Amino acid sequence: MKNKINKILCYFVLIVLSLMCVFSFCLLIINSTRAHSQIQKGFSFALGSFFGTNLKNVLSNGELPVVKGIINSLTVSSLSAALAAYFSVLTAFAIHSYEFRFKRAAFTFIMMIMMIPSQVTALGFVRWMAKLGLMDSLIPLFLPSVASPIVFYFMLSYMQSNLPKAVIEAARMDGAGEFRIFNQIVIPVMKPAIAVQAIFTFVAAWNNYFIPSLIIRSAEKKTLPILVAQLRSADYLKFDMGQVYMLVFLAIIPIIIVYILLSKYIVRGVAVGSVKE
């Protein structure tokens, strides 16, 4: 009996917390379907019929290059994900499968820099990119992903329990070169880990605001977070709230849809990097 009451209490708290998590997104979806005048009049839980109109308005907004923004964000995020996944597996493979003198030192070094945020070197980064002529370019937004210590650590953990050294030995016996072993044996074995980390890196790049806002200047290079910030600093009294909600919708909802489809793998992947069995 006591256990039953406890259980009901637990479910109650869980439902309240879940509602807190989805509430703001429900309001977002509702308001993205309503016209500016309806939103100004006051809130209602009823869905409106202006979703298409809002979408069309925000996509054709002359001051806000949203279509370009989506394309730029997709480009930067996909390239970041691909580079981080491939090169982190390569780095992990070097540490996992070879014996060399500075192996321990290399590993220790990567672990120590793992948590240092990129903001603290932003000044040097921006001025260095300016010297290299890479200001207002998308390249500085995805190229640094080649060195992703956290992804590396995840890959190494996964490799330690899923890539037996005997497999590599066997491939060598068959005369495969080291690059071929990596591309044709290691990469396929690592596919589940690559998928999870590619998603995490994609999302992180998609959401990244600080560095892009310092690098990007011209309108046609802007990514979605910069456009969101630009909209925030515009004079909102003149602004169409339907478009505000629609832009936020475009920035958030695609990620939520992908998350719902792949949540099983993502939630499982969260703990692996930091907590080893």
* DSSP single-letter state for residue 186: I
Q: Pattern 155-174, binding to another protein, x per CB under 8 A? A: --------------------
Choose the binding region for another protein from 11-19, 47-55, 58-66, 189-197 (rule: CB under 8 A). Answer: 11-19
Note whether 33 and 48 are within 8 A (CB).
Answer: yes
2 binds another protein (CB under 8 A): no
- Contact between 63 and 233 (Cβ < 8 Å): no
14 binds another protein (CB under 8 A): yes
Query: CB of 201: closest distance to another protein in angstroms?
Result: 12
Of 70, 73, 92, 91, which is closest to residue 81 (Cα–Cα)?
A: 73
Q: Which of 17, 46, 166, 173 binds another protein (CB under 8 A)?
A: 17
Q: Helices 241-272 & 191-207, crossing angle to 10 degrees?
A: 150
Q: CB atoms < 10 A from the CB of 236, how many?
A: 11
Among 126, 176, 185, 189, binds another protein (CB under 8 A): 126
Binders of another protein among residues 50 to 109 (CB under 8 A) are 87-88, 90-91, 93-95, 97-103, 106, 108
Cβ closer to another protein: 53 or 149?
Answer: 149
CB of 30 to another protein, least distance (A): 8
To another protein, the closest distance from the beta carbon of 91 in angstroms equals 4
CA distances from 257 to 72, 75, 198, 253 (A): 20, 19, 16, 6
Choose, by CB under 8 A, the member of 66, 81, 190, 231 that binds another protein.
Answer: 231
144, 188, 190, 238: which one binds another protein (CB under 8 A): 144
- Burial, 51: exposed, middle or buried (Cβ in 10 Å; 0-12, 13-18, 19+)? middle
